[in-house]
Amino acid sequence: MNNPFSSLPILDAATARTSILQRPAWDEITVPARLLGGIEAVFGERISPDEAVARILADVRKRGDAALLEWTARLDGVTLSSLTADQDAVAQAYAQLDDAVVAALRLAAARITAFHRRQPSLTWLHEDDEGVLGQIVRPIERVGVYAPGGTAPLPSTVLMTAIPAKVAGVPHVALITPPRRETGLPHPAILVAADIAGVDRIYLGGGAQAIGALAFGTESVAPVDKICGPGNLFTTLAKRRVFGMVGIDGLPGPTETVVIADDQANPELAAADMLAQAEHDILACAILLTPSRALAEQVQAAVMAQLEELERAEIILGSLSRGSGIVITDSLDHAFELANAYAPEHLCLLVDEPMRRLDQVRNAGGVFVGERSFEVLGDYVAGPSHVMPTGGTARFAGPVNVNDFRKIISVIGLNEQAFQAIGPAAETLARTEGLTGHAAAVTRRYDATSSKRE
C-alpha cells in the first residue's frame, strides 16, 4: 500500500485555491482511458460517454422493453425475463435480511418522514376588494427514483428520495435499480427499503437505459414526470439529456466533504470523518480546513493509522490522491470564507461552540454541527435527505426535500375594480414591448365595459 502521507497533502491556502479547492465541473472530469476502452468494446468504436448515452437513450425511446433488456444484458451481464420485481421478491428480501438491518431501515424511515413532515405547506389565498390572488400547491403526479448498484447497495438512497416524495403527496413513486448478476434482482436491502418507503412499483435496470425508460416509458415501465436519485457518469449524462421532457433533481457529481476544525478538535474523529467520505469512490473529495498546523499533522497521521483498518483502502487512496487534502488557514473566519467559496455538499464543524458559527455558513448542502452530529448520521438516520448538491451547486441548490416533489400553481381571480386600476399599466407595458395583441386584449375589455354601461 502506498504511503498516505504522499496522498493527503498539507497545503497553504494560496496553493489550495488553485488545486484541491478549484475542482472541475462534473462534466469536465478527465475520462479514464479504461472507461473509454470499455465503451469502445461495447460500441465497436471510440466514442465519448455522452455519445454513448445518446445512442442508448435513442434506442430505448425507439424499442422500449427490448432495448432495456438488451442493454441490461450487454452492460450489466444480466439476462432478465421480467423488468419488474413483484411482492414475492420483496417478501423473499425480508427473509434474507438480518432483523437488525430491517429495524435500522425502519428507524431511518421514521426519522426521514418526521423531518420532512415539518416542511410547511405553501398554499395561500388572499382576498380583498380587487378579488383573489394566491397560489395552490399540488404534488407531482409521477416520480421515478433511481438507486444505483455500484460497488455497494444503497438502500438509504431509496429512503432519502422516495420518502420526501411520498410526504409531498406524490400518488405514484416508482423505483428503478440495477439487478445483480447472481439473482437477477436488486440487493434485498434495496427491495426492503423500497417497501418501507411506500414505493408503488419496482423496475429493474441501470445506467442510461434506466433513465431513458423512466423518461420515455416502455411497454413495462410507465413514464414519470420527474427523476431523482444519484448515479454514475452515464446516469448523470442521461438525466441531463432528458431534462425538459421530465424534471430532474440535479446533476450530481462526486461526493465531497469539508471539515472545519480548530485546535481543540479531536484529530481521530476528524480523520475518521474524512475517511468515511473518501471511501465512496476514487472521485470523492475530503478536505480539512484548519488554522492549526499541529492539528493538521495529527489528522494526517491519524488518517495513515486508520486507513490500515478499512476494507476499501485502495478506493480511499485514490480519493486522497486527487481532490483531497488539508489546508492551513489564517483563522477560522478564513476557513469559513474558503468553505463558502467551495460550496461543499457536506460541511462539518469540529470547532468550539459550533452553533455560534452557523451564521457564517452561506453555501453548503448540509452543515453538521459538532462532533456528535457527524456526516455518517446524516447519511442514514438523522432525518434530512442525504441527496445533496455537489460540485459547487450548493451556491444555488439544496438537498432533496418535499418541495422538490410539489409544484406551485398561481391563482389570479381579479374583479372589475382591479381591472380598472391596473389595466392601463398592462396596456402601456404591452405597447412598450410591441405586443399589440396583448394591448388589444385590454382595450377590448374597456369597450365591453362601456357597452354594458350604455
Measured distance between the N- and C-terminal CA atoms of the chain, rounded to whole angstroms: 94
Q: Residue 20, Cα to own-chain centre: how many angstroms?
A: 22
CA atoms of 173 and 226, how far apart (whole Å): 10
291 C-beta neighbours (distance < 10 Å), count = 19
Taking the CA atoms of residue 294, residue 297, residue 300 and residue 305 in that order, the dihedral angle to the nearest 10 degrees is -90
* Catalytic one of 256, 279, 345, 427: 345
Which residues on neighbouring strands pair with residue 32, listed in sequence order? none
User: In angstroms, what CA-CA distances link 164 with 109, 192, 193, 225, 384?
Assistant: 10, 17, 14, 16, 9
* Catalytic one of 346, 375, 386, 427: 346
Per the annotation, the verdict on 346 as an active-site residue is yes
As a three-state string, the secondary structure of 162-179 is HHHHHHCCCCEEEEEECC
Q: Which helix (H) or strand (E) holds 126?
A: strand 124-128
Whether 428 contacts 438, CB under 8 Å: no
Whether 149 contacts 177, CB under 8 Å: yes
- Grid look-up 438523522 returns 382
CA atoms of 443 and 426, how far apart (whole Å): 10
Which residues on neighbouring strands pair with residue 169, listed in sequence order? none
CA atoms of 157 and 16, how far apart (whole Å): 32
Q: Find, among 306, 314, 252, the residue nearest to 274 by Cα.
A: 306
Question: What are the φ and ψ backbone dihedral angles of 112, each rounded to 5 degrees?
Answer: -65, -40
Lay out the sheet containing 366-369: strands in order across: 10-12, 325-328, 285-290, 256-261, 346-350, 366-369
Per the annotation, the verdict on 172 as an active-site residue is no
Q: Residue 342, Cα to own-chain centre: how many angstroms?
A: 17
User: In angstroms, what CA-CA distances link 243 with 22, 35, 131, 160?
Assistant: 27, 25, 37, 21
User: In angstroms, what CA-CA distances link 121 with 136, 195, 408?
Assistant: 9, 26, 11
DSSP state of 373: S
Task: Pull the grid cell for residue 53.
Answer: 448515452
Local structure of 123: helix, strand or coil: coil
Q: Find, among 231, 202, 227, 201, the residue nearest to 212 by Cα.
A: 227
How does strand 131-139 pair with strand 124-128? antiparallel
Q: Which residues are part of the catalytic machinery?
A: 345-346
